[in-house]
Amino acid sequence: MNDEHKQYIVNNELMDREHRVLIDILVRLNDGKDVTFIIFDLLKYSNEHFAHEEELMTSSDYPMNESHTKQHRWFVARILRVIKSKTYNAADVRSFLYMWLLNHINVCDRDLAEHIKSRSENERTS
């Protein structure tokens, strides 16, 4: 695992694996080639990843489910706006999406992972 991925570890196997894929997609924007294809790839994978997280939130009775899901919807809407604009700078798009993702993972997803872990531990001791 490289340094770029380490800051995205929330200690939930599924979420960590999927976060690595999202970061890898964003890193591909660095070369400036096939930017539109990469952004569509990011949109597709983001939707899959968010669906998995939302399943985790529902199955664990996560109390912040609604606000967390709203952030997912906002991110997808932002990607769609980028696609519709057709005039974007790959470096700017990568920088913005990377910073949003970093914040989201380190705040919201970390909280979700801790909630899931806590519920799991509580169920084992019950």
Query: Domain for residue 108, yes or no?
Result: yes
Domain count for the chain, please give it: 1
Query: Domain for residue 90, yes or no?
Result: yes
What percent of the chain clears pLDDT 70, i.e. is strictly above it?
95
Q: CA distances (Å), 31 to each of 28, 62, 72, 91, in order?
A: 6, 38, 26, 9
User: Domain span at residue 33?
Assistant: 12-125
Query: Domain for residue 39, yes or no?
Result: yes
Query: Domain for residue 82, yes or no?
Result: yes
Query: Domain for residue 6, yes or no?
Result: no
Query: Domain for residue 3, yes or no?
Result: no
What is the domain-level CATH number for residue 114? 1.20.120.50
11-54 confidence digits (pLDDT tens): 999 999 999 999 999 888 887 778 889 999 999 999 999 999 99
